[in-house]
Amino acid sequence: MRGMWSSTLNSRGLMSDIPIAKNRRTSYENFVAVCPECGRDSIFNRASDLHTFEPIAGREVACLSGYCRKPFRIINDSVNNAHEMLIFDCYELIERKHYMNCILSLAQAYEVFFSFFFRVEFLYKPFRSAYRPTREEVEAALEETRSILFPLSNRLQLDNEFDW
Ligand SMILES: [Zn+2]
């Protein structure tokens, strides 16, 4: 059985075929893929192995099994938010009877959720409805700023502050 393959550009810029991982299991920290060559699980940590926390649409990796090391492609990462992934991770923790870790994961899910919420509310939303000033308002603001920062040239009605 040949399995699924993907065409990709190799390091010399030529198209080559590379096998796609058979199964995958994703979590907040890891992307677990079954090597299509040797059939063993390769656990890729998002921070130390993949160097990204962005969802992986498709990426070439090498099997982590010591004797295999064959290249393959991982695809179809979860696109859930971080807090959702932390909650989904709890089902596996419950199955393995890691109840304390499950509670910690839920607490971290709340932390990540509220961090995301505050970023959206205070960082992104204010710019969505940013006020667009008219030319007259900008000229008035410029004049007011000049009168505060350059009081002498403003009082003498000089056009620029270098003439005084
Ligand atoms: Zn392998």
141 pLDDT above the threshold of 50: yes
State residue 163's pLDDT score. 47
State residue 2's pLDDT score. 55
Spell out the SS3 assignment of 54-89: CCCCEEEEECCCCCCCCEEEEECCCCCCHHHHHHHH
5 pLDDT above the threshold of 80: no
Which distant-in-sequence residues (6+ apart) come within 8 Å of 76 by Cβ? Answer: 24, 57
Percent of the chain with pLDDT over 70: 88
Q: Look at residues 75, 97, 116 and tell me which one is the last residue of a structural domain.
A: 75
38 pLDDT above the threshold of 80: yes
Whether residues 92 and 71 share a domain: the answer is no
Could you tell me if residue 145 is inside a domain? Answer: no
CA of 40 to the centre of ligand 1 (A): 6
CA of 30 to the centre of ligand 1 (A): 17
Whether residues 47 and 93 share a domain: the answer is no
Whether residues 68 and 16 share a domain: the answer is yes
Range of the domain at 116: 86-128
State residue 159's pLDDT score. 66
Could you tell me if residue 14 is inside a domain? Answer: yes
Whether residues 58 and 116 share a domain: the answer is no
Residue that the structure tokens 């899910």 belong to: 109
- Band (pLDDT 50/70/90 cuts) for residue 126 is confident
CA of 163 to the centre of ligand 1 (A): 75
CA of 68 to the centre of ligand 1 (A): 4
CA of 96 to the centre of ligand 1 (A): 26
pLDDT per residue as tens digits for the range 91-120: 999 999 999 999 999 999 999 999 999 998
What mean pLDDT is predicted for residues 55-60?
Answer: 90
Q: Look at residues 75, 101, 119 and tell me which one is the last residue of a structural domain.
A: 75
CA of 62 to the centre of ligand 1 (A): 8
What mean pLDDT is predicted for residues 35-48?
Answer: 94
CA of 60 to the centre of ligand 1 (A): 13
Percent of the chain with pLDDT over 90: 55
CA of 32 to the centre of ligand 1 (A): 12
Length, in residues, of the chain: 164
Could you tell me if residue 46 is inside a domain? Answer: yes
Spell out the SS3 assignment of 10-51: CCCCCEEEEEECCCEEECCCEEEEECCCCCCEEEEECCCCCC
CA of 72 to the centre of ligand 1 (A): 9
1 pLDDT above the threshold of 50: no
162 pLDDT above the threshold of 60: no
Q: Which residues of 57-95 are buried (b: 16+ CB within 10 A; e: fewer)?
A: eeeebebeeeeeeeebbbeebbeeebbebbbbbbeebee
Whether residues 62 and 104 share a domain: the answer is no
Range from 64-73, 90-99, 154-163 carrying the lowest mean pLDDT: 154-163
Give the chain's mean pLDDT.
86
Could you tell me if residue 141 is inside a domain? Answer: no
CA of 121 to the centre of ligand 1 (A): 45
What is the count of structural domains for the chain? 2
Whether residues 71 and 30 share a domain: the answer is yes
Whether residues 96 and 70 share a domain: the answer is no
Whether residues 105 and 68 share a domain: the answer is no
Could you tell me if residue 30 is inside a domain? Answer: yes
Which distant-in-sequence residues (6+ apart) come within 8 Å of 110 by Cβ? Answer: 83
Whether residues 90 and 124 share a domain: the answer is yes
Whether residues 100 and 38 share a domain: the answer is no
Could you tell me if residue 133 is inside a domain? Answer: no
